[in-house]
Structure 1
Amino acid sequence: MDIDEKWRTIARQRAVLADVLDGAPVGDLDRPSLCERWRVRDVAAHVALTPCSPGLPRILAALVRARGDFDEVNRAMAVAHAEWLGSNLAGELRAVAPRRRKPQITTIDNLLFDTIVHVQDVAVPLGAEVDVPQEGARAGADRVWRMGWPFWARRRLRGLELVATDVDWARGTGEPVRGPIRDLLFLLTGRTEAALPGLHGPGVRRLASSP
């Protein structure tokens, strides 16, 4: 994927997320998402906030207050943005969908998989069927496989061969784990419980027994 296609995929995913929110009862926005300690509305607000980043100085100041806990900074900013937006979450997502801005501390490749996964973080607990953009998901899986923090996928999944059944993508060596690229992306990003129903192969036993 070239940069333009990555941005177009991100824009489409933001719009898809807005559609999912429009179809959900208001009370469901407070359901737990697939992200631990994040409500559905918090995840959606995080996606909406990304192109409106408060800037590096404020992020660094928040990191100091959180004693270097980046996850806590991210969550706190998302919660605050969710409360500020209130019932306008879907409208904000549509307004920012085409914006090609990102926080200074991330990359377009990180933003691509982050957006794709977060749409699923909301859709799955709401029972909404949302297909992943397969080329974007494949590029995202490549990026997560290459990176270390925060997922440590290669180390965590050592001894397993991950093979997508719907796109041309395979990584690792060992006991096979096969499934759609969406579920492999869940697995790579630490969403093992959500991934397991869509996976098969000898290596799945190990995943199911992991703490």
Structure 2
Amino acid sequence: MARLDHLDRRGERSMDVKGMIAAERRELADLLDGLPAERWSAPTLCAGWRVREVAAHMSMGFRYPFPRIAAELVRARGSLNRMTDRLARRDAAAFSPAEIAGFLRDNAHHPWTPPVGGSVAALGHDVVHGLDITVPLGLDRRVPKDRLRVLLEAVTPRGARFFGADLAGVRLCAEDLDWSFGDGAPLYGDAQDLLLVAFGRRLPEGRLRGERSDRFVAA
């Protein structure tokens, strides 16, 4: 009986996360629809990508079946970064802002997930890329705390290293949630900003506090 209860709880959590993903995509689609045309060419936290490249990349999993992705990966000589960069730039040029926003809205319940991490990783993909757009634009979008808790609970040293985050000697301490991660000098900030740090992003000056904060600030 305990085994069945455990499975039931896992199923409920999975359904909760899927609902969060759908809500996140719809909210980001509404936000993108409201951006003036010139802001689609603004830089983001993803180096070398404008808003239109990040937004186009977010819908890549909906529009490309696995055989096409495999073929594109071969063409990129096995480099995932090279493949995603090529597709993002091509799709950003091929589709209008309204079409790109529509891909997110129309696929709010699409079951796509990254190769590793399941639905939590899919939620992280949407939340982090949404912040990649809103933070440098100066938009005060607050990710709901239930979504942040799911993602912060999933932060691991291995995952941080995968995204290029150097968290050695640093303890991430959220000021708006009861959450911390790591050991060392405290790095204080809002939970969503610390999530970006764990995903290897460098933030605008003034968003983080602590003696090691300069390490995570954009040049």
TM-score, structure 1 normalization: 0.85
1:137 is aligned to 148
SS of 2:139's equivalent? coil
Is the CA contact (8 Å cut-off) linking 1:20 and 1:123 kept in structure 2? no
1:24-173 to structure 2, matched below 5 A, reads 24-55=35-66, 57-87=67-97, 88-102=99-113, 104=115, 107-148=118-159, 150-153=162-165, 156-173=166-183
2:186 is aligned to 176
Alpha-carbon separation, structure 2, partners of 1:206 and 1:48: 31
Is the CA contact (8 Å cut-off) linking 2:114 and 2:122 kept in structure 1? no
Letter in 2 for 1:92: F
Letter in 1 for 2:141: V
SS of 2:186's equivalent? strand
Alpha-carbon separation, structure 2, partners of 1:106 and 1:37: 26
Q: 1:198 aligns with which of 207, 213, 216?
A: 207
Letter in 1 for 2:74: V
> Are the structure 2 counterparts of residues 67 and 201 from structure 1 closer, same or farther at C-alpha, using a change threshold of 3 Å?
same
> Are the structure 2 counterparts of residues 53 and 7 from structure 1 closer, same or farther at C-alpha, using a change threshold of 3 Å?
farther
Alpha-carbon separation, structure 2, partners of 1:183 and 1:107: 23
> Are the structure 2 counterparts of residues 84 and 205 from structure 1 closer, same or farther at C-alpha, using a change threshold of 3 Å?
closer
> Are the structure 2 counterparts of residues 175 and 79 from structure 1 closer, same or farther at C-alpha, using a change threshold of 3 Å?
same
Is the CA contact (8 Å cut-off) linking 1:14 and 1:47 kept in structure 2? no
RMSD, aligned CA:
2.4
> Are the structure 2 counterparts of residues 205 and 85 from structure 1 closer, same or farther at C-alpha, using a change threshold of 3 Å?
closer
1:105, CA displacement in angstroms? 5.8
1:106, CA displacement in angstroms? 5.7
TM-score, structure 2 normalization: 0.82
SS of 2:152's equivalent? helix
Letter in 1 for 2:81: D
> Are the structure 2 counterparts of residues 160 and 105 from structure 1 closer, same or farther at C-alpha, using a change threshold of 3 Å?
closer
Report which stretch shifted further, 157-166 or 93-102. Answer: 93-102
Q: Which runs of 5+ in 2 are unaligned?
A: 1-11
Q: Which has the larger radius of gyration?
A: 2
SS of 1:185's equivalent? helix
1:171, CA displacement in angstroms? 1.0
Is the CA contact (8 Å cut-off) linking 1:42 and 1:78 kept in structure 2? yes
Is the CA contact (8 Å cut-off) linking 1:51 and 1:103 kept in structure 2? no
Is the CA contact (8 Å cut-off) linking 1:53 and 1:103 kept in structure 2? no
1:6, CA displacement in angstroms? 1.2
